[in-house]
Amino acid sequence: MKKIAAIIDDMFEDVEYTEPAKAFKAAGHNVVTIGLEKGKTGKGKKKNTPVTIDQAINEATIDDFDALLIPGGYSPDHLRAHDKPVEFVRDFVNSGKPVFLICHAAQLPITADVLKGRTLTGYKSIIQDIKNAGANFVDKEVVVDDNLVSSRHPGDMEAFIKKSIEKLNE
Beta bridge partners of 55: 34
Q: Find out whether 79 and 7 touch, Cβ atoms under 8 Å.
A: yes
Please indicate whether residue 103 is annotated as part of the active site. yes
Q: Are 131 and 148 in contact (CB under 8 A)?
A: no
Torsion of CA 139, 154, 85, 44, to 10 degrees: 150
**SS3 assignment, position 149:** strand
What is the spatial order of strands in the sheet that 99-102 belongs to? 55-56, 30-35, 3-7, 67-70, 99-102, 148-151, 143-145
On the 0-12 / 13-18 / 19+ scale of CB atoms within 10 A, 141 is: middle
| Given the residues 21, 93, 103, 142, the one annotated as active site | 103
Residues 6+ apart with CB under 8 A from 156: 102, 141, 142
| Catalytic residue IDs | 103
